[in-house]
Amino acid sequence: MAPHVSPPSPPLSSSASSVASDDGEVYDINVPYKKSGNFTKQPATPYPEYLPAWEEVSFPPIQPFTYDDPALRADPKKRALLTPSVTATDISPKMGTELQGVQLSTLTSQQRDELALLISERKVVVLRDQDFADIGPEAQQNFSDYFGKRHYQPVTGAIPGYPGFHIIYRDGNQAEIERFFEQKSTANIWHHDVSYERQPPGYVLLCMLQCPEVGGDTVVASMTEAYKRLSPGFREMLDGLKATHSSQRICDFARNNGGLCRKDPVKSLHPIVRVHPVTGEKSLFVNDEWITGIQGWKQSETEWLLKYLMDHISRGHDFQVRLQWKPRTVVMFDNRSTCHTATVDYDGVYEKERHMFRLASMCEKPICVGDIEEPESQE
Ligand SMILES: [Fe+2]
C-alpha cells in the first residue's frame, strides 16, 4: 500500500536542538525525531543525501498480508551463497556470522534465499566492505523488499521520495549528549524493531555510512538462548502469555516535541514466546520499548515480569554479540529471534557522526507456541 505524499517540508535546519523536549522528556539519542534534532552542528557526513527529511506523508493502517519467507525455499546447504570463495566466520558459538567474499548488491534470488536462511539460523550476519551504500536508494529498497513487505517508520526521518528508509543519525555534540545523560544512566534501549506492528519485521538491514573510529557498537541478544536458559516450568508459564505492543508513546513523543507521526498509533497483541517459522525455535518476544501490558495481568505484575526478563536478557552476555561498525558495513539480523540496543560511548572522544540507514521487511504474525501444538487454532 503506497503512502500518500504531500509537498515536502522545509529543508533541514542545522540549528541547535536536542532529543530532549523543553520539559526534559528524552527518548532515543541515536535518532532525530524532528528536522533539527541531532543537528547541533553542520553535518559532515559523506552521504548528505541520506540525511533525514520529514516529508508530509501519511501511512494508512497495514492490512493483514500473506508472507512467503524466502528462507523456506532456500537450499539448506546454501551452496549458491557459501561458495568456496566465501568465508563464513562465527562471531560467537550460537549466533552471528561474518561473511567475507559476498557483495549483497550482486546476489541472485537463490543466493538471497540462502542469505535469509543463514540469517534465520545465525540471527545476525555481518558483511564488511560492501558497495551497498553506493547503489542508490531504489536498488537498496528493492533489495530489502525481497525479504518481506516494506515497513514505513512513523516518526523518524527518511530520505526524500523513499519513506521506507529509517535514518539513524547522531553527531558527536558533547553538550547534547551530556544533557541526555543528565536523565539517563545509559543510552541502551533493548528492543525489537517496531514490534507493535501486527506483522513486525523479520529481516532488518542496517547500512553504516559514517561512524566514529571506535564506539557506537550495536549489541544483539539471542532471544532463543535467553528462552532456553529459563527453567522448564518458567518457560511453560511464559508460553501461554501474550503482551500488548504499542507505538502510542513514540507517536506522542514526536507530536509533543515538534515532530511528525505519519501513521496513527498501532497496538498489537503478541505472544511472549514466539515460534520461528524457519527454524522452529522458540524465542522470547519481549522488550523495553514497546510493551504496555500483559494480557490478563495487573500492571504491577507486568512490571515485575518484564523487569525480570529484561534484566535476564540485558545481563546475559553469554548469549549476546557486540557488533563493531565500520563505514560500508552492512548488518542483517533476524528481528524475530533477537533484540538489540545501540551504545553511546564515543562522546567527548570521537567527534565523527554516526550515520546509518535501516530498511525493514515485515513478515508473518508472530506464531504462538499454542499455534504449533494446536494447528486448528491458527489464525
Ligand atoms: Fe533498532
DSSP string, 216-281: --EEEEEHHHHHHTS-HHHHHHHHT-EEEEE-HHHHHHHHHTT----S---EEEEESEEE-TTT--
pLDDT at 258: 86
Pairwise CA distance, residues 330 & 327, whole Å: 9
pLDDT at 56: 87
pLDDT at 18: 35
Reply yes or no on whether the pLDDT at 15 is more than 50.
no
Residues in the chain, total: 379
Distance 75 CA to ligand 1 centre (A): 29
Yes or no: say if 326 and 236 are a contact pair by the CB < 8 Å rule.
no
Strand 97-100 relative to strand 124-127: parallel, antiparallel, unpaired? parallel
What mean pLDDT is reported for the chain? 90
pLDDT at 59: 93
Answer whether 0.85 is exceeded by the pTM. Answer: yes
pLDDT at 92: 98
∠ at Cα 281 (275, 287), nearest 5°?
60
Distance 190 CA to ligand 1 centre (A): 8
pLDDT at 76: 98
Pairwise CA distance, residues 90 & 337, whole Å: 17
Distance 22 CA to ligand 1 centre (A): 25
Distance 194 CA to ligand 1 centre (A): 8
Distance 85 CA to ligand 1 centre (A): 32
Yes or no: say if 157 and 54 are a contact pair by the CB < 8 Å rule.
yes
> What share of the chain has pLDDT > 70, as a percent?
91
How does residue 25 score in pLDDT terms, banded at 50, 70 and 90? low
pLDDT tens for residues 224-267?
999 999 999 999 999 999 999 999 999 999 999 888 899 999 99
Residue 131 vs residues 260, 297, 327: alpha-carbon distances, Å: 32, 49, 10
- CB burial of residue 179 (10 Å; 0-12, 13-18, 19+): middle
Query: Which residue's entry shows cell 507521526?
Result: 261
Reply yes or no on whether the pLDDT at 81 is more than 70.
yes
Sign of CA dihedral 117, 152, 135, 49: negative
Distance 191 CA to ligand 1 centre (A): 6
Distance 193 CA to ligand 1 centre (A): 5
Distance 240 CA to ligand 1 centre (A): 26
Q: Which of 359, 332, 378, 346 is nearest to 120 (CA)?
A: 332
pLDDT tens for residues 326-372?
999 999 999 999 999 999 999 888 888 999 999 999 999 999 999 88
pLDDT at 24: 54
Instruction: Indicate the range of 29-33, 228-232, 308-312 predicted with least confidence.
Output: 29-33
Distance 192 CA to ligand 1 centre (A): 6
Pairwise CA distance, residues 251 & 249, whole Å: 5
Reply yes or no on whether the pLDDT at 3 is more than 60.
no
Query: Where do the domains of the chain lie?
Result: 4-377
Reply yes or no on whether the pLDDT at 377 is more than 60.
no
Distance 360 CA to ligand 1 centre (A): 10
| Higher local confidence (pLDDT), 207 or 180 | 207
Q: Which helix (H) or strand (E) holds 124?
A: strand 124-127
Distance 267 CA to ligand 1 centre (A): 18
pLDDT tens for residues 110-161?
999 999 999 999 999 999 999 999 999 999 999 999 999 999 999 999 999 9
Residue 302 vs residues 77, 243, 246, 310, 367: alpha-carbon distances, Å: 42, 9, 15, 12, 21
Residues 6 or more apart whose CB falls under 8 angstroms from that of 250 comprise 27, 154, 155, 261
Instruction: Indicate the range of 15-24, 240-249, 268-277, 305-314 predicted with least confidence.
Output: 15-24
Distance 168 CA to ligand 1 centre (A): 9
Distance 341 CA to ligand 1 centre (A): 7
How does residue 6 score in pLDDT terms, banded at 50, 70 and 90? very low
> What share of the chain has pLDDT > 90, as a percent?
76
Q: For the chain, how are helix, strand and coil distributed in percent, rounded to 5?
A: 25, 25, 50
Helix ranges (H only) for 86-244 are: 109-122, 137-145, 174-181, 223-228, 232-239
Distance 374 CA to ligand 1 centre (A): 33
Question: Looking at the domain that runs over 4-377, which CATH code has it been given?
Answer: 3.60.130.10
pLDDT tens for residues 174-202?
888 888 899 899 989 999 999 999 999 99
